[in-house]
Amino acid sequence: MLFVLALGLGLSVGDLYDNPTQADVAQKGNHLLAGTAAALFVVFVESIAVTYFVGTSRWCKEVTETYKLDPADVAESTRLKRRTFPLAVAGMLTVVGVGALGAASDPGTGRENTATMANVHLAAAFAGLCFVGWTYYRAWLNIAENQNVIARIVAKVREIRVAKGLDVEPVEDEPATVPH
């Protein structure tokens, strides 16, 4: 949503190249802030996906080793992690690229041909929005698939624990008593 907001604000900026008004310059500032927030949020979301796979793939490995389970589920979780990491990094780099093109189109830099870079920045923003959305979708599918791997491991552990007569339900903690 922040990406779309930044895109909308950018489209509403008037002419910054021939005779910009104070309102155009102010709108450019709003676009810049929204774009920066969008980029940070994209990096945040992609980082969550990376962090999720770091933690869950490690959990899968440790539980599989502890209960001596078939390592196929660990391999599957690792495959999903390795499939997601490049997408997450590509999504992060995409917003960096869109931002760099935006900076190249800023007439405040005093560089020549910044007006032509505005169209490049606009095209990159549309393409980047689509690409980042696709990376989110792929990460979501990979996370859902990894949740199935985790569910299989949990079910196998449950079977082993039941067969050995061990607790299978979480033990509720006793309420903490406060010393008087």
Inform me whether the pLDDT recorded for 172 exceeds 80.
Answer: no
Arithmetic mean of pLDDT, 93-101: 97
Q: What pLDDT was estimated at residue 84?
A: 98
> Is 32 within the bounds of a domain?
no
Inform me whether the pLDDT recorded for 55 exceeds 70.
Answer: yes
Residue 6 has φ and ψ, to the nearest 5°, of -60, -40
Arithmetic mean of pLDDT, 131-152: 98
Q: What pLDDT was estimated at residue 113?
A: 86
- C-alpha triplet 95, 32, 93: angle, nearest 5°: 10
> Is 31 within the bounds of a domain?
no
> Is 12 within the bounds of a domain?
no
> Is 28 within the bounds of a domain?
no
Residue of 111 and 63 predicted with greater confidence: 63
> Is 136 within the bounds of a domain?
yes
Q: What pLDDT was estimated at residue 20?
A: 87
> Is 138 within the bounds of a domain?
yes
> Is 3 within the bounds of a domain?
no
> Is 179 within the bounds of a domain?
no
